[in-house]
Amino acid sequence: MTVATSMAATVMLAVAFSAFSQSPASAPTPLAQLLAEAQRNNSQIAAAHDAWQAAKEVPRQVRALPDPTFTYQNLSVGSPKPFAGYTTSNFAYIGIGASQEFLYPGKLKLREEVAERQADTSGMAVNATAASIDDAVKVDYIHLAYLQQALGILGENQHVLDQLIRDATAHYEVGQSSQADVLQAQVERTKIVREMTAANQQLGDTEADLKELLHRDQDSPDIVADPLNEHPLQCTSAGLLALVRQHNPQIQVDASSLREEHAALASAKRESKPDFSLSYMWQQTDRRYPDYYMFTFNLRLPRKGRVRAEVEEAAAKLAQSQDTLDAHLQQQFAQVRRGYIDVKSDEELLNEYQQGLIPQSDAAYRSTLNSYARGRDVMTHVLLYFGNVLDMKLNEAQVLADHETTLAHLETLTGVTLR
């Protein structure tokens, strides 16, 4: 192999290593577009919304009075036949009446408030479900972008190895290198092909998950993600923790449940008050006899033991809701703190890759490649530095994906946009 040919190969290899990924054949779909699609079409969000709509109809039901009762009576005398004795006895009559049950003042209002709080909790659950779906879409989208970028890097380096194999073969044919150099380069190429196969399998799995979240047909065209870019976290740890208390979807659900249990406790205490009912009946006899008019007042006295148990149950559920809120708040705080540390660590590592490790590895590789082109070094060293640069770039892509994934989780935890 001539020096000019070797140098041309060197230039091609350097250009190939400078490329992180290949341009996708299809136009990328922005993440915001997929998030909007998931909000429209995802079945879990739709089911949560339907449950909320159903819950909003309950307050109108519980605030209504019990159904009125209308009564028709026929009292026969002397025979079980209808109207027997109607004209011969002043005891026989036809009666028409109505009755209505009334609850102690305030009971219906408190029951309505409980139902309203339950509807509010269902509404918060819709938001929590939507946030969970958004988080899953973001994670899949970022993983998809990483895999596409990794496949681009692997594909470029496969072409580089093909050239190296041709160079090693040419050197071997003129006696400038051994057959082991050719075999070693082919082994390295096989490793890249194996990694590409595994990445393509992960790509298919991720696209299947993403299409499920979007409620798309699995045979629909593949999704292409935008290239990954680093979004440095600008918010402080204390700021993130404050946002959790204000905007975290699960905390909002728990806070709404707590308000619901407060209302339930007040309603349970009100249940100790008596209820009553009123009824009125007109009883008509034969014209020879006077009619009867009957008014009835009934008072229902709740059993104290039952009411006391209901109050204690409501109080225990209130305490449970408070403890659940506190537990979830501490869990979210811990997750945010861990996420903040991970993001900052990833940012430092990305800077190290971009400013130090990759340029240094690339420089070592170029130097070794030039020496090999001049016959001053061996293929083993070229492949060693080739593998180092490849690993560095793949590791940088993985760290970038981890950084963006953690940011996506922090967005879900804080309820605000951080990227």
For 6-40, write each residue's pLDDT tens digit.
Answer: 434 443 444 444 433 344 457 899 999 999 999 99
Query: For 273-302, what is the mean pLDDT?
Result: 93
Predicted confidence at residue 13, as pLDDT, reads 46
364 versus 100: the higher-pLDDT residue is: 100
Task: Give backbone dihedrals phi and psi of 405, rounded to 5 degrees, phi first.
Answer: -65, -45
Cα 408 to Cα 134: distance, rounded to the nearest angstrom: 9
Question: Which residue spans within 224-319 are E strands per DSSP?
Answer: 275-284, 292-300
- Percent of the chain at pLDDT > 90 equals 61
179 versus 412: the higher-pLDDT residue is: 412
Cα 80 to Cα 334: distance, rounded to the nearest angstrom: 79
Cβ atoms of residues 400 and 228 within 8 Å: yes
Burial class (CB in 10 A: 0-12, 13-18, 19+), 297: exposed
Predicted confidence at residue 406, as pLDDT, reads 95
The highest-level CATH class for domain 3-70+105-414 is: mainly alpha
Q: Which range has the worst mean pLDDT, 143-157, 159-173, 308-322?
A: 159-173
**Does the structure show a pLDDT above 60 at 373?**
yes
138 versus 89: the higher-pLDDT residue is: 138
Cα 82 to Cα 92: distance, rounded to the nearest angstrom: 10
**Does the structure show a pLDDT above 90 at 269?**
yes
Radius of gyration of the chain (CA): 38
Predicted confidence at residue 179, as pLDDT, reads 67
* Cα–chain center distance at 100: 48
Q: Which range has the worst mean pLDDT, 58-72, 87-101, 169-183, 330-344?
A: 169-183
The Cβ-side half-sphere exposure at 264, using a 13 Å CA radius, reads: 20
90 versus 404: the higher-pLDDT residue is: 404
Predicted confidence at residue 176, as pLDDT, reads 57
Predicted confidence at residue 16, as pLDDT, reads 43
162 versus 100: the higher-pLDDT residue is: 100
104 versus 377: the higher-pLDDT residue is: 104
Predicted confidence at residue 89, as pLDDT, reads 87
Predicted confidence at residue 292, as pLDDT, reads 92
Question: Which residue spans within 209-320 are E strands per DSSP?
Answer: 275-284, 292-300
**Does the structure show a pLDDT above 80 at 372?**
no
Predicted confidence at residue 267, as pLDDT, reads 96
Query: For 49-58, what is the mean pLDDT?
Result: 96
Q: Which range has the worst mean pLDDT, 28-37, 169-178, 407-416?
A: 169-178
Task: Give backbone dihedrals phi and psi of 276, rounded to 5 degrees, phi first.
Answer: -145, 165
Residue 294: how many other CB atoms lie within 10 Å: 11
pLDDT in tens, 186-244: 777 788 888 889 999 999 999 999 999 999 999 898 999 999 999 999 989 999 999 99
pLDDT in tens, 150-167: 998 888 878 877 777 777
Q: List the domain boundaries for the chain.
A: 3-70+105-414
Instruction: Supply the DSSP symbol for 384.
Output: H
**Does the structure show a pLDDT above 70 at 377?**
no
Query: What's the mean pLDDT when you consider all of the chain?
Result: 87
Predicted confidence at residue 344, as pLDDT, reads 93
Cα 318 to Cα 324: distance, rounded to the nearest angstrom: 10
**Does the structure show a pLDDT above 80 at 141?**
yes
Predicted confidence at residue 20, as pLDDT, reads 38
